[in-house]
Amino acid sequence: MKPTDFSKYLSDFLTKYLIHERGASPNTIKSYRDTFVQFINYMTDERGTKLRKLTLSTITKELVVEFLYWLQNTKKCSAATRNNRLAAIHSFLNYVQFHHPDHLYEYQRILSVKAKKHKKESINYMSVDGLKLFLRQPNVASKKGRRDLALLSLIYDTGARVQELVDLAVQDINIQAPFTVRILGKGQKVRIVPLLQEQMEILLTYMVENDLMRNECRPYPLFFNHRNEKLTRGGVAYIVKKYAQSARKENPGLIPPKLSCHSLRHSKAMHLLKAGVNLVYIRDILGHVSIQTTEIYARVDSKQKQEAIQKAYVPVSPEVKPLWTKNDKLLEWLKSF
């Protein structure tokens, strides 16, 4: 069977362009790949288009809109997921239009499809007391519990994303003072995050117990399962969920209803902010490209302070009627303005 232009350019996009020109992370590539797996399934299963008939000329704005509608209404994907799928399609067509401009007009029509507005979820984080309760849940009398404590406290102390954590190797930990961890973040960008003595004691105990201090262990994953395989994102999410449920039973008021790996990252950022740490330093620790991304924590903190003040407000001043309301002509003019 002769390859189609769609299969050729999609293969080049995923295996060459994203990796070598964009420097995209494995997670980004996987997300884009999943988008086109879903798109192909939609075309073959829902529209009855044979894969060998799927060409660039068959992809229209109307088709893309129908695919997005199917994602939300049939597959029950969220608006955020829908927007991520659209972003992947846009990225692909931005690439294709410079290499195969035969259908440039249609590509530009598809590129005009806007992301769907949706309500962003509020930042989910724990108070310091909640965090203490959460980190008390692992059973440190067991080897697995000591591993989990080392893992969870490292996520919090570094503010690492879950993929950044599972990708850590033993060699990324600097066990000599000043203690640091080397994190490979989005866009293959490396950041060095300092570790405190208290965190290193927990981490070193785990590393010694698991015989990770030998030179030959340096390339090994820092955290692994009972099969000595690198932990997965799902594995870390399971650990967080398990201890969140345990802590919630002890004190439901301290643990948010939904607690994810990312909640620990949010918690670190909010605690640093409340401690007076400069936003620039928080940005560097979290690995944000722009400080505007980091400023969301400052806005959340300000909003909470305002709400607290509003709840505590007691009217103590006498009511003062504005002087201009006594002037009929002025009032009439203002109402017509």
Cα(51)–Cα(41) distance, rounded to whole angstroms? 9
Active site residue 271: no
Active site residue 20: no
Q: What percent of the chain has pLDDT over 70?
A: 84
- Domain 5-111 has what CATH class? mainly alpha
Burial 290-316 (b: 16+ CB within 10 A, else e): eeeebeebeebeeeeeeeeeeeeeeee
Catalytic pick among 186, 230, 233, 241? 186
Catalytic pick among 82, 85, 265, 268? 265
Residue 166 contacts residue 27 (beta carbons within 8 Å)? no
Q: What is the pTM of this model?
A: 0.70
Residue 271 contacts residue 263 (beta carbons within 8 Å)? no
Tokens at 238, concatenated: 């399971």
Cα(113)–Cα(96) distance, rounded to whole angstroms? 17
Residue 119 contacts residue 158 (beta carbons within 8 Å)? no
Active site residue 186: yes
User: Residue 127 contacts by C-beta under 8 Å, 6 or more apart in sequence?
Assistant: 254
Give the model confidence (pLDDT) of 63-107 as tens digits. 999 999 999 999 999 898 999 999 999 999 999 999 989 999 999
CATH of 128-311, one of 1.10.443.10, 3.40.50.300, 3.90.1150.10, 3.30.70.20: 1.10.443.10
Give the model confidence (pLDDT) of 280-293 as tens digits. 888 888 887 666 66
Active site residue 226: no
Domain ranges of the chain: 5-111, 128-311
Tokens at 107, concatenated: 């590509």
Active site residue 299: no
Active site residue 146: no
Catalytic pick among 85, 103, 147, 161? 161
